[in-house]
A and B are shown apart, each in its own frame.
Chain A
């Protein structure tokens, strides 16, 4: 199946710093990528939908100025957590949906990034 990578897999930072997480589709072009966060023993919560070449669509309650999303190419989307605070500590997962004539609407998920803000 299609492969999606995330980098870094784990990051620890001090409160007030910014952290960038990369999501790459390795063997397909993704016109749409999605960013989720997951708290311990909870399900995935959609944060935003990222479309290549346009602004991301954020879910209600997600601060767009705090969680900056850039989808500059068909294989890369980045999520930047600005001025991170301990409550931003979470597991962040991206997914990618292949573009073109895909009739399945299948999404492929990255391995996740564990963010810990001290």
Chain B
């Protein structure tokens, strides 16, 4: 059974700092991996999706990498801003109609 772990559980950084969020998964036979953002009391916003054949995806200040062999993915946020404060979730997907398996998330606070 797939298990997804996110480290750290919480992170506080000053504005402008570059940071890395970590995600690891036990079963490397994934179809893709998604990173989401969740603001308090809100739903999930998809940030990046990396297919199993890809190594990274970029969107603006965000860069997500995927290393299937080691069971790891990272989300890199450049030049962090207070508006980046949220909980970041990673989730792995198998093929077909298998549901996403979520990590517990990293709560990020960017201090102005």
- Where the two chains meet, the residues of A that have a C-beta atom closer than 8 Å to any C-beta of B are 1, 6, 32, 34, 42-44, 46, 49, 51, 91, 93, 95, 97, 103-112, 114
Docked-complex contact B49 and A106, CB < 8 angstroms: yes
On B, residues with C-beta under 8 Å from A are 31-32, 34, 36, 41-46, 49, 51, 89, 93, 95-97, 99-100, 102-105
**Distance A95 CA – B46 CA, assembled complex (angstroms):** 11
Looking at the assembled complex, report how far the CB atom of A76 sits from the nearest CB atom of chain B, in whole angstroms. Answer: 17
Residues of B within 8 A of A46 (CB): 99-100
Assess A110 versus B43: contact at CB under 8 Å? Given A34-B99, A49-B99. Answer: yes
Smallest CB–CB gap between B77 and chain A, Å?
A: 20
Indicate which residue in B32, B42, B96, B103 contacts A111 across the interface (CB closer than 8 Å).
Answer: B42
